[in-house]
Structure 1
């Protein structure tokens, strides 16, 4: 399956093979950089290694995880590119999850004012979300993705076979973005996925295709996040703050686990502000709790969470910007909520674990 993102690039959803790399060779690059982390070097590199043998290749391995998605790691990547003799006519292959896609793309797009790159997402989260749309960046000042830019890849290669290398928790984390895409843009898909209980039994290729197509259509209509694309932030205003708060704790949450909290709290806010119905709120709450369980958010963290939300790059002025739901399948962008309402939404979420 090939999904075109305008005239810029294609998302190819298929098992990676010789045809992918023949296409890359035909573009006449002087060499390839492969950016990966310790996990994808071990589990995913062997899948593409046979096609790397006859082209000058600079492998760059970085530590795995969001904790390392920062400027110091980018500095190391740039240094390795210089040591390897990488020039403007090279192409960077980002082999990994969302962290590698965001950071590797950012490093490529800024190295010598930009070299081409291809996204090869290896996690469900990156396949349905992070690899699509040209948003690149790193975390800075304890705020996710606060330093970055927009730059499109030459291609995105989505191979569901990589998912067999994932722990169950990582797979579940990525699934949150599939839930989000359905809730903001496809009520029929939301009805379908509520019937899914066992993620191990899913045929992922068609599920990924439908989810990627939602994001692709949103990105095509609003590539620079001026309006409609903000719908993709549903669950992320509170969710990103919760993720950042837990990042340095022993009970750290994965991205999708934090976004599940965000979807519940922001659905509650949608209901309180008179759009989302009680039955729809209950369905979202029940499905997210069934899939992700409950993680108590300490009341002592509320001030820090609000501070993190106020630093969110989507804000305009002093107000905290949200995407809410009018109903499943219909999102409402550029909505705001007071600090008191946000605090009440977190209190509501905490009661669900009692």
Structure 2
């Protein structure tokens, strides 16, 4: 696959990825190379990485705890201290080998240590491949509130190798599917039709869908890197999805949801709100809901749950002047940003989700 992001942040696929990666490191001559991993990627992905990068100079690994609850400043402090203790300087390189937590946090650590080190993302989950590792968003959560601290800074490159997906549990594959479904809804009907009926057992077809999903995000990010307008569409389903994810994360009586599982609910809610307020086609809403519920188990929300989720909306990064702003759709590929949605519509959306 050709590189698909301009200047920094080039994305390479299986065929040329490791060759380009090794050549880049040889040319850069970094003083030290650090690989940030979590406990899962240390076990399942590091050996394959080592096989493809048998560097004579070697590299040092920094292992963080796995899971969203460790995507915080405390983890960053530990990594910053480790980098300092191991003599990292401004010519050092950080390689983030892992899922969305690793690439988000690792990119933030690299962007802030000594005012910025070069970093490369090697995503190992589907979610990170099609979303988290591409586009330059790096950051951590503030308590249970998602992605409140961070920067926009592109990696030197992103290496995509779908061989890593063979190590993933099925739930994590489905979690990544949510972002791909979102790309279809905000982009065009043709991709939506392809992705909603995707056969994951067909490796060639699945890899093509992954590259096309990355290409959709690339087009959006390239046109609007600082999220002034078009890039906001990538947040479709995320306003309520992030709030749901945060609420379930802090509530001992709720299961911890994967990011894609929460976003999938948010997509159904946002699409219902779109139908109510912007005339999104009813039959397409039904199609979206059926597709989501085919892949993602329905979650239960009490009235108090919904009340608490709504309270968390005030932390959404798109908000302005105290107003919670949504991205909504008039139809597939036709978006409207900065939409104010009243709580009555939100309750109605949860009722629709419950009774579908």
Q: Do Structure 1 and Structure 2 share a fold, with TM-score over 0.5? A: yes
Matches within 5 A, 1:137-176: 137-176=139-178
> Which stretch shifts more, 247-256 or 175-184?
247-256
Deviations 1:79-116 (A, max 9, x none): 11011111100110000000000000000100010100
Distance 1:351 1:17 in 2: 49
Deviation at 1:52, TM superposition (A): 4.6
Residue in structure 1 matched with residue 62 of structure 2 by the alignment: 60
Q: Secondary structure at the match of 1:4?
A: coil
Residue in structure 2 matched with residue 8 of structure 1 by the alignment: 8
- TM-score, length-scaled by structure 2: 0.95
Matched, 1:245 2:247: yes
Check conservation: 1:13, 1:205, Cα contact below 8 A: no
Deviations 1:54-102 (A, max 9, x none): 1252210011010100011000101110111111001100000000000
Distance 2:32 2:20 in 1: 18
Residue in structure 1 matched with residue 105 of structure 2 by the alignment: 103
Deviation at 1:7, TM superposition (A): 2.1
Distance 1:296 1:226 in 2: 35
Deviation at 1:157, TM superposition (A): 0.3
Deviations 1:283-315 (A, max 9, x none): 101100111121112221122211211111110
Deviation at 1:4, TM superposition (A): 3.0
**Structure 1, gaps ≥5 residues long:** none
Check conservation: 2:72, 2:143, Cα contact below 8 A: no
Check conservation: 2:72, 2:140, Cα contact below 8 A: yes
Check conservation: 1:102, 1:135, Cα contact below 8 A: yes
Check conservation: 1:144, 1:244, Cα contact below 8 A: yes
Residue in structure 2 matched with residue 256 of structure 1 by the alignment: 260
Residue in structure 1 matched with residue 31 of structure 2 by the alignment: 30
Q: Secondary structure at the match of 2:4?
A: strand
Distance 2:201 2:130 in 1: 17
Q: Secondary structure at the match of 1:210?
A: helix
Residue in structure 2 matched with residue 303 of structure 1 by the alignment: 307
How many positions carry a matched residue from both structures?
Answer: 351
Distance 2:347 2:256 in 1: 21
Residue in structure 2 matched with residue 289 of structure 1 by the alignment: 293
Check conservation: 1:13, 1:158, Cα contact below 8 A: yes
Check conservation: 2:108, 2:150, Cα contact below 8 A: yes
Distance 1:41 1:18 in 2: 22
Distance 1:194 1:35 in 2: 34
Deviation at 1:202, TM superposition (A): 4.5
Q: Secondary structure at the match of 1:316?
A: coil
> Which stretch shifts more, 338-347 or 253-262?
338-347
**Structure 2, gaps ≥5 residues long:** none
Matched, 1:335 2:336: no
Residue in structure 2 matched with residue 42 of structure 1 by the alignment: 43
> Which stretch shifts more, 124-133 or 23-32?
23-32
Rate the CA distance shift 1:30–1:52 in 2: closer, same or farther, 3 A: farther
Q: Secondary structure at the match of 1:335?
A: strand
Residue in structure 1 matched with residue 217 of structure 2 by the alignment: 215
Check conservation: 2:4, 2:215, Cα contact below 8 A: no
Distance 2:203 2:189 in 1: 20
